[in-house]
Amino acid sequence: MNLIEVDSRMFLTNKAKRIIESNQGISTGALIDKLKKKAIPESMIDELINQY
């Protein structure tokens, strides 16, 4: 991974975590839909959903 890929992944991860933290009261399916609409990659969504 080069520096741009790392920065991009970190940006998307932080963005996804903020979305997850601010929407803790909604269902997992609705949360996944929100993340997809914000262009978070499916592999990252799976990884983050399993953490929370």
- 2 — pLDDT class (breaks 50, 70, 90): confident
| CA 8 from centroid of its chain's CA atoms | 12
- Give CA separation, 37 vs 1, 24, 49, in Å: 25, 17, 15
Tell me the whole-structure pTM to 2 decimals.
0.79
In the predicted structure, residue 26 carries a pLDDT above the cut 90: yes
- Amino acid present at 41: P
Looking at per-residue confidence, does 34 or 6 come out higher? 34
